[in-house]
Structure 1
Amino acid sequence: MKDWEQLFQELAVDHQMNLDEIPNINLYMDQVIQLFESKYAKTKRKEDEKILTKTMINNYAKGRLLFPIKNKKYTKEHLILLNFIYQMKGVLSITDIKAVLEKINEKIEVDEFDPSDIYNSYLQLTNKYAHHFKENLETIFQLSKKELEKLDDPDSSYLEKLLIISSLAYLSNLYKRAAENLVDELSAD
């Protein structure tokens, strides 16, 4: 079985698109897809997985998760929003993501708001969260091993994986429910 450090490395938690990696020129859809594919390739579970497709981007635009695209070109602001969408889509529904991004889309379009500062703050926080996640992952592995020492079972390797997987799923569900609760609060406002 993998140890927690190997698992942490394979998760590519440090693969975020920094502001300096987002071009200051407008991009066509194929260029956007290529940028996301190259940046987030290591985060794929399976090689044939797609990070971003034309259909996804069109659905985000039709669903108004993005402010309108002009001349088939995507601005730096669109790319920042697409990064937020990419990070949220594994946990939140499209409806929830729309609720979260609705006001920032309006601010960008109407007030000419630059989302760079809030995106940079997000990146700073995720760097800190990665450190905490690494510590928590180590703790989960250690506590699971300790719990299994109490049992004398020939399938201890399987049971250890079961404990770790179910513990991670439990924590993941707590974070998801907390995010959904905040979305509901945002929608109520």
Structure 2
Amino acid sequence: MKTSQEIIEKLSLGATIHQEEIPLIDLYMDQVIQLFDAKYGQSLRNEDEKVLTKTMINNYAKGKLFIPIKNKKYSKQHIMLISLIYQLKGALSISDIKATLDPVNEKIEDESFQLEDFYSSWVRLQQNNATNFFVELSAHESEIESEIESEEIDEELKQILLIATLSNMSNSYRKAAELLVDDLLVKKEEKKK
């Protein structure tokens, strides 16, 4: 079984696109894809998986997950929003991502909103989450060892217990996120009334 440290290294949880890494000039789609590949490519499960594709970006644009692009170029704001989408898509449906980001996109239209500050907060939280994940993963491994301490159980079964534990936690976090999305939607409907 891989150790917590090996899993953490493969996941590259600390990988993120920091504001200072986003060019000040607008980028074409191919450049956006290259930026994301360079940052998140190491964390892919296998070679067949893609970080970001033209189809994905086009679908995000058609689905109005981010503000409209201008002249086929993506601004710093677009890169930040696509980065958020990239992080959200592992747990939420596209419609839930849209519901989550709609308030952000609406606030961007109001020129007093600073997406950069919001994004910086997200990056700091993401970095903290990466640190916390290592601690939690190690704790789950210890719990499994304690749980089966008296029984003779092989490494494969320990790994299966860890997979089941992580899947259970993942489902709990996803369901909690979905409840919060539903709450956003209810509040949006109440505002319309």
TM-score range normalised by the length of the shorter chain: over 0.9
Query: For each residue in 1:110-143, what CA deviation from the matched residue of structure 2 results, as whole angstroms up to 9, or x when unmatched?
Result: 4363311011011111121222111111011111
Query: For each residue in 1:149-177, what CA deviation from the matched residue of structure 2 results, as whole angstroms up to 9, or x when unmatched?
Result: 22124xx1111011100000000011001
1:134 matched to 2:130? The reply is no
RMSD: 1.2
- Which AA in structure 2 matches 1:178? A
- Which AA in structure 1 matches 2:156? Y
Are the counterparts in 2 of residues 144 and 160 from structure 1 also a CA contact under 8 Å?
Answer: yes
Q: What is the DSSP-based 3-state SS (H/G/I as helix, E as strand, rest coil) of the residue aligned with 1:185? A: helix
Aligned counterparts of 2:62 and 2:99: Cα–Cα separation in 1: 14
Aligned counterparts of 2:9 and 2:43: Cα–Cα separation in 1: 11
Aligned counterparts of 2:112 and 2:78: Cα–Cα separation in 1: 13
- Which AA in structure 2 matches 1:77? Q
Count matched residues: 187
Q: 1:1-189 maps to which residues of 2 (within 5 A)?
A: 1-111=1-111, 113-153=113-153, 156-189=154-187
Are the counterparts in 2 of residues 107 and 113 from structure 1 also a CA contact under 8 Å?
Answer: yes
Q: What is the DSSP-based 3-state SS (H/G/I as helix, E as strand, rest coil) of the residue aligned with 1:111? A: coil
Query: For each residue in 1:60-108, what CA deviation from the matched residue of structure 2 results, as whole angstroms up to 9, or x when unmatched?
Result: 0000001111100000000000000000001000000000111111221
Aligned counterparts of 1:52 and 1:170: Cα–Cα separation in 2: 27
Q: What is the TM-score when the length of structure 2 is the normalising length?
A: 0.93
Shift of 1:146: 2.1
Are the counterparts in 2 of residues 148 and 159 from structure 1 also a CA contact under 8 Å?
Answer: no
Aligned counterparts of 1:8 and 1:162: Cα–Cα separation in 2: 18
- Which AA in structure 1 matches 2:63? G
Aligned counterparts of 2:80 and 2:118: Cα–Cα separation in 1: 10
Aligned counterparts of 1:65 and 1:112: Cα–Cα separation in 2: 20
Q: What is the DSSP-based 3-state SS (H/G/I as helix, E as strand, rest coil) of the residue aligned with 1:74? A: coil
Aligned counterparts of 1:77 and 1:114: Cα–Cα separation in 2: 10
Shift of 1:8: 1.5
Q: Which runs of 5+ in 1 are unaligned?
A: none
Aligned counterparts of 2:55 and 2:130: Cα–Cα separation in 1: 31
Aligned counterparts of 1:81 and 1:93: Cα–Cα separation in 2: 16
Shift of 1:2: 1.2
- Which AA in structure 1 matches 2:24? N
Aligned counterparts of 1:90 and 1:107: Cα–Cα separation in 2: 24
Moved over 2 A (4+): 109-114
Shift of 1:148: 2.2
Q: Which runs of 5+ in 2 are unaligned?
A: 188-193
Aligned counterparts of 1:112 and 1:72: Cα–Cα separation in 2: 25
